[in-house]
Structure 1
Amino acid sequence: MPTVLTKAPADPDVDRLRAVLDGHRVVEVEALTRAACERAGVDPAEVGAVLGASSTDDLSLFPALEWVHSGAAGVDAWVAADAVPAGARLTSAVGNGAVPLAEHALMLMLQLSRSAPRWAQAQREHRWDRFVHGELAGSTLGLVGLGHSGTDLAGKALACHMSVLALTGRPRDTEVPGVTLLHGQDGLRQLLAGSDHVVVTCPLTARTRGLIGAEELSWMRPTAFVVVVSRGGVVDEDALVAALRAGTIAGAGLDAHPVEPLPADSPLWDLPNVVVTPHNAATTPQTAERGRQILLDNARRWAAGLPLRNVVDLDRGY
């Protein structure tokens, strides 16, 4: 049987992997290199699966490779690096962070609609600062992407008495009750023009990179907000800063950024109508455990010759 390599520190641990890969040799190595394989007594030609790899690993070392698993949900770095060998399937942990991503987006929407940074500043200064602010009820959410996190956020928004528009790249097998689906570039304009909160939940691909630039931002209402929780780069950052400074949009909540960490000299840190978080939305114990369960389930499937979950379409980029 093919050998399975897992990159140290293994997550889930090697014993859990061995339990579901009964009969396969599972070896933990400190790096995916020929030298590390030699130290572990592994013949690279016998490796059929590599778990916990990154897009910077050179997987051409393993000519019989069938399956590669990335512990990350987003695989844009893998696609950009063309890091998956021919004949191998790449799977991801997509979906593991859907719930906290949606919660984080909802938090940012609430902070922005209520001007919460103003309260934080007043608290630091020991000032009692009461003012009129907004609410989510009756407003419209525009979702750029309706995958796992977008679908979860749609349900939360409907529970907050919002209307929901959602832009999708391809037809869905099932509809989301209460959600108006839009398609293509014409759909994007309708979504941006009709939304009070535009939330980016789509992956970063060749198709979505720079999807929302200066022209697209000009379609938005001056009272509307942009929230990004999936990947930076979907919204052109320079155009976003210009729109925020000019007041052509009301504000932004940003957890994902084109360059991370966000540079210390970025104007986004100091704009009064911006909430910045450090790509931290899905950093929960539950996200990690869901990722482990996705990998263990796929390990069972691979060992049994069954279809894998979360197989990445490298042409689409997700």
Structure 2
Amino acid sequence: MRLLIGFDQYPLDPFHDLLPGWDVARTTPDRFAELGVDADVLCPIAARVDAGLIAAGRCGLVQQFGVGLENVDIDAATAAGVLVSRLPGDVTGNADSVAELAVLLALALSRRLDGARQALRDRQWAQPVGRALFGGTMAIVGLGAIGAAVAKRLAGFDVRLLGVREHPELGGPPEVGQVVGTDRLLDVLGEADVVVSGLTFGEHNRNFFDAAAFAAMKPGALFVNVARGGLVDEAALLAALESGHIAGAGLDVHAVEPADPASPLVNHPNVIATPHVAGVTEQMMQRSVIAFTDNLKRYEAGEPLLWTVNSEGAQRRPQR
């Protein structure tokens, strides 16, 4: 069995140890389609799995090393009998890791960490004046595994928590006092001192946070995105920051990745930007490798897979 991983910086030793007899290779995203035609299992990570690769190749499984499947043509895979599976964030520790960085960004923005460090270098004392989280209102947009993990951590800060989700009838974690649908988004944004984006991304919600959303936010509010860059109209966010309507933004994800370190948004003085590292922790990596390879062993043995997002009907079978 041949596995191709679409990221050339992932260490291969754990996969070799847990998948004896497998041919495991890695490549850069730009060569993924070229080399992927000879793989039984594709792990795209940051690469694309489009209809052309599915048609030209022999793979029977696309197994993502994480949650995001926005770069996978699931309809084409299903039509070709190719299963598509992801690793849920609450299984791997990804959601907990991402939630921690969301809290870190909210705190760093609120307490003006960059400004405080500069003040120290300038030999200033007791400056700048920051803002505490306690007593404020925080909105979590998206209440899946990440949003629930963020709520759990923020509850200890004595804040009022509001939630927005596509299906409000599902409710939310006990820490969230009120859950509404996306049709009430602008109302909630107007109440929040800090807005955290934890939405799952798809073409249906590209630029979900647009000019209207930022205009609806409370003057001086903070915005944190640890979900996907495509959720944000970055030009609209930059305009809101330039006008001062939005006081700061914490961005771990970007519309184009790797992000351009010279972009006006990344370099804005009121932005704290990181390179999509929210989920990249030792704990997440260890748990993900185990869950990932366990599912591949199921596939090799012809057993039902976990966490698939499409039908297990007629399938391409693995090469024996």
TM-score, normalising length: structure 2 = 0.80
Distance 1:51 1:77, change over 3 A: closer
What's the CA shift string for 1:59-106, capped at 9, x where partnerless? 43445x442212143221224996776211211234132112111110
- 1:74·1:94 contact (CA, 8 Å) conserved in 2? no
CA positional deviation for 1:221: 0.4
Amino acid across the alignment from 1:212: F
Matched with 1:306 is: 304
The structural deviation recorded for 1:35 is 8.1
Tell me the secondary structure at the aligned position of residue 163 of structure 2. strand
* Residue correspondence of structure 1 range 265-304 to structure 2 within 5 A: 265-302=262-299, 303=301
Indicate the residue corresponding to 1:14 in structure 2. 16
Per-residue Cα deviation, 1:225-265 (whole angstroms, up to 9, x for no partner): 11011111211111111111111122111111112233244
Output the CA distance in 1 between the equivalents of 2:263 and 2:18: 44
For 1:238, what is the secondary structure of its paired residue?
Answer: helix
Superposed displacement of residue 300, structure 1: 4.7
Give the corresponding residue for 1:239: 236
Q: Are residue 219 (structure 1) and residue 216 (structure 2) matched?
A: yes
Q: Secondary structure at the match of 2:250?
A: strand
1:203 to 196, 200, 205: 200
- Kindly indicate whether residue 259 of structure 2 is the aligned counterpart of residue 262 of structure 1: yes
Equivalent position of 2:157 in the other structure = 160
Partner Cα separation in structure 1 for residue 26 and residue 201 of structure 2: 30
Paired with 1:238 and 1:75, the residues of 2 have a C-alpha distance of 25
- Partner residue in 2 for 1:26: 22
Q: Distance in 2 between matches of 1:171 and 1:206?
A: 21
Q: Which residue, 38, 45, 52 being the options, matches 2:43?
A: 52
**Cα offset for 1:189?**
1.4
Structure 2 alignment gaps of length 5 or more: 6-10, 312-320
Deviations, residues 175-197 of structure 1 (Å, cap 9, x unaligned): 4113122113x221122112111
Which residue of the partner structure matches residue 70 of structure 1? 64
Question: Aligned AA for 1:28?
Answer: V
What secondary structure does 2:190 align onto?
helix
Give 1:116 shift: 1.4
- Matched residue of 1:149: which SS? helix
RMSD value, Cα = 3.0
Secondary structure at 1:252 match in 2: strand
8 Å Cα contact 1:112/1:253 also seen in 2 = yes
**CA distance in 2 between partners of 1:289 and 1:84 (Å):** 30
CA pair 35-159 structure 1, distance change in 2 beyond 3 A: closer
- Counterpart position of 2:316: none
Q: SS at the partner of 2:245?
A: coil
Could you say if the C-alpha distance between residues 195 and 11 of structure 1 is closer, same or farther in structure 2, counting changes exceeding 3 Å?
Answer: farther
- Rate the CA distance shift 1:313–1:134 in 2: closer, same or farther, 3 A: farther
Shift of 1:130: 3.0
Q: Which residue type is aligned with residue 19 of structure 2?
A: L
**What is the aligned length?**
293
Q: Which amino acid aligns with 1:142?
A: A
Displacement after TM superposition at 1:129 (Å): 3.9
Aligned to 1:182: 180
Q: Cα 1:94–1:220, aligned 2, differ >3 Å: closer, same or farther?
A: same
- Do the aligned partners of 1:225 and 1:249 also contact (CA within 8 Å) in 2? yes
CA separation of 1:143 and 1:271: change in aligned 2, threshold 3 A: same
CA contact (8 A) 1:59 1:85 kept: no
Which residue number in structure 1 is paired with residue 317 of structure 2? none
Question: For the Cα contact (< 8 Å) 1:228–1:255, is it kept in 2?
Answer: yes
Residue 122 of structure 2: aligned partner: 125
TM-score, structure 1 as length reference: 0.80
Equivalent position amino acid for 1:127 in 2: Q
C-alpha contact 1:73 1:94 (8 A) present in aligned 2: yes
